[in-house]
């Protein structure tokens, strides 16, 4: 999944599809993208075969329901610490009998067609993803009980915050992080859920190791980091060229 932190237009969904991503993950926790812009990105993504996910800024039912009604097909719930918090997210994201999601009057997911109410609820319950982020040692220790909650699809380790909580900021290859991955992967296997992790986009070695441990839902970096990386690489490449190739009046200009 490509995390979206800076882009505000639907073009980022098209770019994600072109670049081979399965999903876009609009971050409303750490970015100031509006809900309206996030909804437009989600609707575009869904219509071109890219799964639209949104990391909500908190665990309120209003925040979860509003963005799902607007076009998202999944929520990433940050800072889940217990099974009770996971159950609250499921209640907001899924219709009865799985949850308590409030009913909107129309649905962009179905191109605003009028469909049987029972069919709409069945399809949205089946197609909406609930991702619970585990970002502290206490949350990882409770991975088994969180994975056991009906309606949770993915347990996703927030590696950046977990590293900070463990006192090893930025050390994604630390043995304590590997042990956390093992714990979450084992819990997911016991309960038929998908294990995930973020913070892997910066190092192929770290990503390879995590995938080897069983991590399957991977956030592969964000739009701004991709732009900075590519822009830095292009500037470096141009500066290494023979200055004469730029012409005498353009030497050093990039």
Active-site residues: which are they? Answer: 30
DSSP character for 102? Answer: P
The token pair that represents 21 in the structure block: 């991503």
What is the Cα–Cα distance from 251 to 244, expressed in whole angstroms?
Answer: 7
Best CA proximity match to 43, nearest among 32, 54, 33, 58 = 54
**Contact indicator for 179, 141 with CB cutoff of 8 Å:** no
Name residues whose C-beta falls within 8 Å of residue 215's C-beta, 6 or more positions apart in sequence. 157, 181, 185, 195, 196, 197, 200
**Contact indicator for 29, 66 with CB cutoff of 8 Å:** no
């Amino acid at each position: 999944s490509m995390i979206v932190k800076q882009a505000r237009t639907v073009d980022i969904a098209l770019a994600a599809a072109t670049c081979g991503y399965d999903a876009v993950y609009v971050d409303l926790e750490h970015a100031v993208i509006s809900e309206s812009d996030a909804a437009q990105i989600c609707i575009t993504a869904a219509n071109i075969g890219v799964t639209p996910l949104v990391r909500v800024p908190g665990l309120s039912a209003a925040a979860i329901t509003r963005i799902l009604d607007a076009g998202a097909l999944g929520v990433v719930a940050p800072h889940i610490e217990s099974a009770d918090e996971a159950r609250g997210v499921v209640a907001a994201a899924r219709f009865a009998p799985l949850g308590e999601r409030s009913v909107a009057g129309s649905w962009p997911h179905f191109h605003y067609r009028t469909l049987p109410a029972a069919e709409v609820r069945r399809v949205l319950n089946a197609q909406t993803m609930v991702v619970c982020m585990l970002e502290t040692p206490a949350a990882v220790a409770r991975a088994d009980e969180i994975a056991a909650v009906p309606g949770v699809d993915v347990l996703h380790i927030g590696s950046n915050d977990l590293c900070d909580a463990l006192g090893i900021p930025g050390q994604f290859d630390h043995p304590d992080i590997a042990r956390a991955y093992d714990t979450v992967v084992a819990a997911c296997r016991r309960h038929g859920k998908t294990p995930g992790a973020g913070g892997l986009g910066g190092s192929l070695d770290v990503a390879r190791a995590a995938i080897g441990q069983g991590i399957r839902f991977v956030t592969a970096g964000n739009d701004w980091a991709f732009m900075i990386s590519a822009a830095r690489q292009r500037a470096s490449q141009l500066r290494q060229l023979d200055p004469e190739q730029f012409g005498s009046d353009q030497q050093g200009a990039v």
